[in-house]
Structure 1
């Protein structure tokens, strides 16, 4: 980004966005940048927002959070089905805080949908009433995903044809929306709200490390999480008996560790599955950002600090 863009002041971007796959070095970069530029770090990761999951989601440590202000980490209970819309609404507060204090807002995370909602706006899907969501989830547990897929086909054939018959979460979501609003989900996706951060006013980086080195770091970090108490953390979450379709219950490593706690897997088997799921997610992150947010500049982690200086 050369020169000054809309939303920029004093020759610097209105915000910095740091995205990338898990274990790519985003947190360390954001911390250094916030210290150097009087920044506020704003979580843009859909799992690190849950207070129940500090270790298994590799949230910043309490010591790191004391160095510079961190916002939207561990602020939501695991029982909440937190959405991109809820994230944008929540992010408006720390963004306004940063601007009022003359600080640089630094959005950091790996959730592409959150970044896209920030910079491109949101579809105008209204909130689904709790009674509709609960009824759909009850039928999903009682009757199974095949029955729900058939029901979705009666109300929204386009969505039913688009979704895999075993995709429990998306089938439930599409059915909830059409039952609550009388309109197919695709209709709502055609209507968007203005973005909180127009993309031409921000500096946006995607950290893209070497794949094999990244996968090795993911494996090592998962092992370190277990040493740090991730199993106890997951056990406490499992004791709450929450809906398994809730996002927090599907965080990488959580389902496999719950299976271990039930006696279905050894700890080693659960660790292998958890690390593999995380590696597969990292691969999807590369693909998603490349196709959905091409305005992000891809850099090696070691080059990221220099790239940010050049983008001002």
Structure 2
């Protein structure tokens, strides 16, 4: 397998990651792997700010339009995707640019996750029975493994289910299981991380402009179609831009308030993304879009 060059480009939403990643991919003869929790869905195009085919400038993108809105995914989806894309890039003598706003997935690629045991039908039944009384089960698990359960909310059925699966299948409390089976990084070769820095007021203006353009492109129609086809049940229907539009359709907001709510909530998301990036990654190369473009090109 060929040795390829790879790099990651992170930054808050609307900071210019997409345009820069395409320029870099062109210069490096690279594929692009998107790590974005909304762009991975088919039919969610406008609200995800997914680059159009024209905007992709002929660069092959992975991680876009992978699943339907009523299908679930987790970090293991991106781990499998990264392994497949890396292998394809190496086979095709291409480099790889990883880009996206959901930096948690990048963190998991670099730090790794523990491999979970295969769950038997008997264990699945025990778990299903236990989940019938979530409160009581949470209290019971907390008495068995207070350290691990202190990091899980009492109303988080997904993570409680995983804890139950591990315990019923292996007989080990989660803390002990993860001590015996520590995480293994997925990324084995060098992966420099570049982080876009941008003035908060400028970013707010960019977010406001992007929200206005989304509405002009047909955001409301897109959300109407999604609701009609998939209902409001899927997790993705709670995403920023979607939940506010649903409130508008319910008559809670007028159009002006809709635009303001999406802008404000997106700006808050951008702040959380920046905080996460600053705290979770070491030896990051930071700079403005212009600075990073000069470095990389």
**Deviation (angstroms), 1:122:** 1.7
Find out whether 1:92 has 2:78 as its counterpart: no
Counterpart residue number, 1:259: 247
Counterpart residue number, 1:155: 141
The unaligned stretches of length 5 or more in structure 1 are 1-6, 140-146
Runs of 4+ with >6 A deviation: 127-132
**Deviation (angstroms), 1:38:** 0.9
TM-score (normalised: structure 2)? 0.84
* Counterparts in 2 of 1:294 and 1:272: CA distance versus 1, 3 Å: same
Counterpart residue number, 1:27: 18
TM-score (normalised: structure 1)? 0.80
* Counterparts in 2 of 1:172 and 1:37: CA distance versus 1, 3 Å: same
Partners of 2:152 and 2:160 within 8 A in 1: no
Partners of 1:177 and 1:184 within 8 A in 2: no
Q: In 2, Cα distance between the equivalents of 1:250 and 1:62?
A: 26
Partners of 1:156 and 1:184 within 8 A in 2: no
Counterpart residue number, 1:107: 98
Q: In 2, Cα distance between the equivalents of 1:261 and 1:151?
A: 38
Partners of 1:19 and 1:26 within 8 A in 2: yes
Task: Spell out the pairing of 1:40-189 with structure 2 (5 A cutoff).
Answer: 40-125=31-116, 148-149=134-135, 151-156=137-142, 158=146, 161-163=150-152, 168=155, 171-182=156-167
* Counterparts in 2 of 1:82 and 1:188: CA distance versus 1, 3 Å: farther
* Counterparts in 2 of 1:272 and 1:186: CA distance versus 1, 3 Å: farther
Partners of 1:55 and 1:229 within 8 A in 2: yes
Counterpart residue number, 1:37: 28
**Deviation (angstroms), 1:189:** 5.4
Counterpart residue number, 2:219: 230
SS of 1:63's equivalent?
coil
CA RMSD of aligned residues (A): 2.9
Counterpart residue number, 2:268: 280
2:191 to 202, 210, 232: 202
2:206 to 193, 197, 217: 217
